[in-house]
Amino acid sequence: MKTAVIVFPGSNRDRDMFRALELVTGSRPQSIWHADATLPDVDLVVVPGGFSYGDYLRSGAIAARSPILKDLVAKAAQGVTVLGVCNGFQILTEAGLLPGALMRNAGLNFVCKEVLLETVTDATRFSLKFEKGQVWRCPVAHHDGNYFADADTLKALEDNGQVVFRYANGTNPNGSINDIAGIMNGAGNVLGMMPHPENLVEPLHGGTDGRLLFESLLSKAA
Ligand SMILES: NC(=O)CC[C@H](N)C(=O)O
């Protein structure tokens, strides 16, 4: 599986993502600078976590106007798989690739801890290696992770099976509506999530729960 990771000024989880992708796919991802005009021909494009542009204006708002986003929107429309994690999720919502918004955490604090996620559906390319309803550990680290969407958008997301990951067992760290931790677009090729699966992929991390997400994408691409 060929992969690429977009790097913005202020990205800081790009290297974690390179490591996770290389570990699971066996080949090195391409690093794409945000000012580039075009993405390479790959199976998966990842928008990683971090503090692009220092989170000025709104988290992800300035990065969503980067030159590379034009081609990301075009590639997403062609069906290329796109994964946005944390700041990446914020960038994808700001770019209009995913509905809703990530507001300031309900507790107004930065949260850095481990939560439990429920895989709501295994009928997606991002989750097919999980069992439906599987509860797994995943770290979070953000201050703007409070997912919100208006009532109609929320109903559509829930009815269409676009809510892929939910905070489980009362571990919602940020006040997200309906405990939403990760959603995908209607076509099913773009997913954004606040938790960091790339930070739980090898025993030295203290667990490997996050691998299933990358293994899902690998088996889909095979
Ligand atoms: N780890 C991250 O990607 C942080 C995301 C974002 N800058 C926030 O704090 O909300």
Spans of all domains in the chain: 3-221
DSSP string, 91-159: HHHHTTSSSSEEEPPTTSS-EEEEEEEEE--S-STTTTTSPTT-EEEEEEEES--EEE--HHHHHHHHH
- CATH class of the 3-221 domain in this structure: alpha beta
**Nearest-atom index, ligand 1, CA of 141:** 1
Q: Is 138 considered catalytic here?
A: no
Distance 222 CA to ligand 1 centre (A): 32
215 catalytically annotated: no
Could you tell me if the CB of 94 is within 6 A of ligand 1?
A: no
Is 0.90 topped by the overall pTM?
yes
Q: Is 53 in the pocket of ligand 1 (CB under 6 A)?
A: no
Condensed to tens digits (0 to 9), the pLDDT of residues 28-45 reads 999 999 999 999 999 999
**For 90-132, how does the pLDDT look when each residue is reduced to its tens digit (9 = 90+)?**
999 999 999 999 999 999 999 999 999 999 999 999 999 999 9
**Predicted ipTM?**
0.95
